[in-house]
Amino acid sequence: MFAAIRKGFQILAFGSLLAGSSFGAILFQDNFDAESPALNGSLSNWFIYRPGVDVIADNTYFLRCSGNAGTCVDLDGTYMQGVYMWSNATFQFLPGFTYNLTMRLSGNQRDLANTDSLVVRLGSLSQTFDLLGSSPWQTYTMSLAGDGSTGRIWFDMRGPDNAGSVYGDNVGILLDALVLEEIAGQTDVPDIQNADIPEPGSALLLAAGLGVLALRGRRG
Ligand SMILES: [Ca+2]
Ligand SMILES: [Ca+2]
Ligand SMILES: [Ca+2]
């Protein structure tokens, strides 16, 4: 048992050294370049529950994909509400590992002053991305501490135009170059193994503070 705990600490220490770098194993990736461009098209790696998506070839419909090449996805289709879709693949989020979902997102590139709202879920983790239409292509990362659960990647494209019975303005956040990585170690572990380890920083600070107080007490 102690050996197992010590192993856990080693993995944890190793993981924190690696945090922020990209030495993970790639579990899944999709750059959409193999998809056929189409309005309200289909995606081979995704189940589209609520249509739709426009599969966009770079430099068509006045839209640019990430890297100004290939194919990307407009998450609000044509006369649709905005997509609700999830990955065909399910993933196991193992304790002791961190799962980083990295993706390229751009604002809608057309209704530049409008803000679109996209909810992305990775297993139990949910994050909302509010992007101005003029927001350029950028890399966004979500990070999930493995908890033993199994789950998928979900995209829920929302927006003010999608409320009520209004069926959308056809412009949504654009998605490209998505990667899911598994990295050994966790930076944020609610695990009982770590509950009684004081943060090195705060412990030092506390010790230093007490030392100063003791010193002052002695001198005063
Ligand atoms: Ca692409
Ligand atoms: Ca569209
Ligand atoms: Ca929209």
Q: How far is the CA of 51 from the centre of ligand 3 (A)?
A: 12
Measured from the alpha carbon of residue 114, the closest ligand is 3
Which tens digits make up the pLDDT trace of 4-17?
444 444 444 444 44
φ, ψ for residue 189, nearest 5 deg: -115, 115
Average pLDDT over residues 27-49: 98
DSSP-derived secondary structure for 112-144:
TT-EEEEEEEETTEEEEEEEETTPPPEEEEEEE
d(CA 172, CA 46): 18
pLDDT value, residue 131: 95
Contact between 187 and 21 under an 8 Å Cβ cutoff? The reply is no
Which pLDDT score is estimated for 81?
Answer: 83
Q: Mark the residues whose beta carbon lies below 5 A from ion ligand 2.
A: 54, 74, 76, 170
Longest dimension (CA), the chain: 79
118: which 2 tokens? 């996209």
The Cα–Cα gap between 220 and 217 comes to: 5
Q: How far is the CA of 152 from the centre of ligand 2 (A)?
A: 24
pLDDT category of residue 186 using cuts at 50, 70 and 90 = confident
pLDDT tens string 198-218: 555 554 444 444 444 444 544
Confidence of residue 19 (pLDDT cuts 50, 70, 90): very low
Range of the domain at 15: 2-219
Q: Name the residue type at position 23.
A: F
Q: What CATH number is attached to the domain comprising 45?
A: 2.60.120.260
Question: Does the predicted TM-score (pTM) go above 0.85?
Answer: no
pLDDT at 166 over 50: no
Residue with tokens 């599969």: 55
CA of 108 to the centre of ligand 2 (A): 9
Please tell me the total count of domains within the chain: 1
